[in-house]
Amino acid sequence: VGGAVMAGSEEESRYSRQLYVLGGGARRLPGSAVLVSGLRGTGAQVATALVLAGTGRVTHRVPHHVSTLQFLLEESDLGQNRAEASQRALAELNPRVVVEAHTGELSEAFLASFQVVVLTESPLEEQLRVGDFCHAQGICFIVADTKGLAGQLFCDFGERFVVDDPAEGDPVSAAVEHISQGNPGVVTYMGTENSHGHLFHDGDLVTFSGVQGMTELNGQEPVPVRVLEINDTSSFSAYRCGGLVSQVQQPQECSHKPLSQALEDPKIQVANPEDLPRSCSLHTAFRALHAFRRERCRLPLPRAPADAEQVLELARSLGAQRDPLDEDLVRAFASVSAGDLCPVAAVVGALAAQEVLKAITGKFVPLEQWLYFDALECLALAGAAQLTETDCAPRGSRYDGQIAVFGANFQEELGHQKYLVVGAGAIGCELLKNFAMMGLAAGPDGELIVTDMDTVALSNLHRQLLYRSADISEPKSVVAAAAVQRMNPDVRVTAHQNQVGPATEMLYKDSFFRHLDGVASALDTMEARTYLERRCLRCRTPLLDSGTEGTQGNVMPMVPFLTEPLAPASTPRDGTFPMCTLRHFPRTIQHTLQWARDEFEGLFQLPAEQVNQFMEDPAFLEQQLPGKVLEQVWESLRERPQDWRDCVRWARRHWQRCYHDIITQLLHIYPPDPGVPFWAGDRTCPHPLTFNPDNDTHLDYVLAAAHLFAQVHGVPPCRDRAAIQAILRDVVLPPFAPQEGIQIPLTEEPTDKAQELVGDEDTQAPLMEPIHFEKDDDVHIDFITAASNLRAENYGISPSKRIAGRIVPAIITTTAAVAGLACLEVYKLVWGCQDLSCYRNSNINLSTCLMLRVQPPPAPTYWVGPSSLGKCSCWDRLEMRAVGADGQAMTVQEVLDWLQVSPALSALRSPWGMHGQILTPTSCRGRMAGP
């Protein structure tokens, strides 16, 4: 799907990453129409996500004038109509989306023109009227509302809403090991390296392919299965070998009740059953708040005990609920319900936007039917509980919505903060947007630093709201800092274009990290995140680590002296596969994906690095043994293209080698002879492919491979598919003849040939550009997808509908929700909270609309030395001044010798070995000075 859409133009390629997550239903987005009513923080987040996602027509409706600011508005917009003022900013996000402003009433004639209607900050009477009309007309209806530190979400997609593709990821498949005789038959399959337990579940529908001996199973309609815990496959059977059992995902029908019924008898979705009583109390609290607003024509005043008690009385009067009413929860909710927090709006708005995308695309099962979210644990912070009505009264400030929750003094403390944001990609942009709205580093001594080495690319535009088309090829950090400055001119933001890693430790010293109040990680590589984690641990600097993978995301705070380091949770989840499996015997799509990743590195990164080293380093030849490396250098130089046509021809030849010649050679060595069961068990017999320039996957591969090959050699690429097809039709390749043995020559001949191709110093060929894989680059993902799916076709493996594993691309809804959750932890860090129970590790899955927030694990402690030293953790430090009897600084060896005989400190050697780096005479010489 991504390749087909990318064929049209560069404008369309901005959505190609999103298509891998939302599937084919994403093609419905350009023809859809959505109404978003209410455009404060929550409504602005919903509208922004939909515009960036490419929804055909987005209409936002607000009859009020701007009195408070959200991230789409600037101070010059104060006093203007909110919808009209936001229209310009929304339209700039995506010129392909029609953005309209509506300031009138929500009449039935007006509502009838939309597929989806979203109400935010709407009174209950309006919700009920619009909800009943939408339910009767088959219009998907969503309510999203936030009040202070809590939010609610409601979905009504009608009585018979069909989900075309309910599950996330690809259907599972496994190689058949044995099929028993009888009815029903028992199928034993082989697990994968990464599987734990059964791949299939009771009721799953499956199909069979490639089965030998029971060929009537192949190509049958999907059949349901039941999981058995048996290992007896000794019964006589006609089954011989081979075969693949594959899960089939069928459409699913959902039925929703209208709001008027769901309000009284709610279906509330929770991550854990024990969370249901809290959500039920919030459901009642929101209803009571609507009643209070109807009676008093206003929300409860911030921190006003009388108003909170009245809301509680209204909640009691609504009648019995399934669980006892949590009265403390209702009071806390009411006391800050007048607040308006950007992080809470980001979370609830992102969840609502994902539900809109479900309604349009038919991808993923929608919410059933209520969801409640709160971060009321923030009110338990030391100091927050003692706030008064005066502390939280409005000041006529852009931060009044935040002051209503945390008070004016806290707002000043936010302005003093010094934060580093590492990465200005999808999550980084959302973090910076929230920081600007929160007023982080907006005081006279505040400091917000954002660093990123990348430049803005076309694919960034559909999920990174700080960038526009005019910013393409500009440094991300510079553009992002300028956007933050426009959102809030008071924020003191500085842009860096550096990588935070070992190469920049002289710039980002320990003193730099100790100077910071916190670090927000928005990185997409495990190595970079692990390095940043180590630095923050060493300098005892709070770290907020955020990550996304398609519709899933997580936030983990690392708080000095309270939480454990993040290293255990940051280890890559992907396992490694045996090389023989990847090269010759893949069984799953994960195998072909990893093979494609290896191909990318072996074609576009390593050869260019080797050639550059060969050309620049005179000692390169002396360091290499004759053979493979020099042969690769010679091949890379020999294949230098002169123009784009040469790149296309190279890609076509490589396609033939990978998907026809190598497979044909393998079958020549191991023929599919039924009498010799070589292709059995965990080995699936492959078949070679025949190139067809009209096949989309074949053409996608050639286009992406040629583009990358051109980039390596500095040749301008071309994106015209028709022109590429014309070139391909002129390419004639000699027929492949399998060989009995392939030998790599072990001579010095490649060295001489390579030197001839390089030339002398005056005519030396230009260096190549090594390409490192980037999951947010369109062409990189297109190559991986096409290469993986072609290899899957070789081996009869179901192709991937989306990118899996470590290279699942980000989407705007997930990144917005994750950034909002991270910023809620910032509030706690700014308070200086030392209560572990107030912090939260958060995990979300927008495909199932589930959110899990739990207390982080505490920092492990160890008994050290005698009882006088007590317990210590990885956050503790031992500082000493090493001075000898002569008053001079001791050498490292003298310190180590002293530790060997010191009865009080000798026990410290063990925790040093586990948690830090111990100095040894061979690793550090000289004199020690200072503490």
CA distance to 290, 298, 331, 611, per residue, from 311 (Å): 9, 12, 8, 73
Within 10 angstroms of residue 841's Cβ, the number of other Cβ atoms is 20
Q: How far apart are CA 820 and CA 48, in angstroms?
A: 15
DSSP H/E element including 590: helix 589-604
What whole-number distance in Å separates Cα of residue 135 and Cα of residue 124? 16
CB 423 within 8 A of CB 524: yes
**Structure token pair of residue 701:** 């591969």
Class of residue 881 by CB neighbours under 10 A (exposed 0-12, middle 13-18, buried 19+): exposed
> Of 60, 61, 195, 37, nearest to 120 (Cα)?
37
- Residue 326 and residue 310: Cα distance in Å, rounded? 15
Look at the block and give the residue holding tokens 């586990």.
914
Kind plus residue range of the DSSP H or E element containing 147: strand 140-147
Cβ-in-10-Å burial (0-12, 13-18, 19+) of 498 comes to middle
Task: Answer for the pair 180, 235: CB distance below 8 angstroms, yes or no.
Answer: yes
Query: DSSP for 545-570?
Result: EEEEEBTEEEEEEE-TTTBPPSHHHH
How far apart are alpha carbons 89 and 99 in whole angstroms?
Answer: 10
**Ramachandran region of residue 832, left (φ > 0), alpha (ψ -120 to 50) or beta?**
left
Contacts for 343 with CB less than 8 Å, ≥ 6 apart: 375, 434, 438, 819, 820, 821, 822, 823, 824, 826, 827
**Residues 54, 325: contact at Cβ < 8 Å?**
no
Read off the amino acid at residue 592: T
One DSSP character per residue, 457-522 reads -GGGGGT-TT--GGGTTSBHHHHHHHHHHHH-TT--EEEE----SGGGTTTS-HHHHHH-SEEEE-
Nearest CA-CA partner of 589 in 200, 169, 22, 212 = 169
Cis peptide before 184 (omega within 30 of 0): yes
What does the alpha-carbon distance between residue 681 and residue 677 come to, in Å, rounded to a whole number? Answer: 9
The amino acid at residue 45 is Q
Largest CA distance in the chain: 93
- Residue in 140, 254, 539, 580 annotated catalytic: 580
Q: Which two tokens stand for residue 718?
A: 């071309």
**What CA–CA distance (Å, rounded) separates 691 from 682?**
28
Q: How far apart are CA 536 and CA 560, in angstroms?
A: 9
C-alpha closest to that of 243 among 175, 337, 294: 175
Structure tokens given for 349: 């708005």
Which residues make beta-bridge pairs with 737? none
Which residue type is seen at 213? G
How many whole angstroms separate alpha carbon 460 and alpha carbon 425?
8
Render 812-833 in DSSP notation, one character per residue: HHHHHHHHHHHHHHHHHHHTT-
Backbone φ and ψ for 447, nearest 5 degrees, come out as -155, 125
- Nearest-5° Cα angle at 593, 717 to 799: 95
Catalytic, 823? Answer no
Cβ–Cβ contacts within 10 Å for residue 315, how many?
Answer: 28
Identify the sign of the CA torsion 728, 733, 736, 739: negative
Catalytic residue numbers?
580
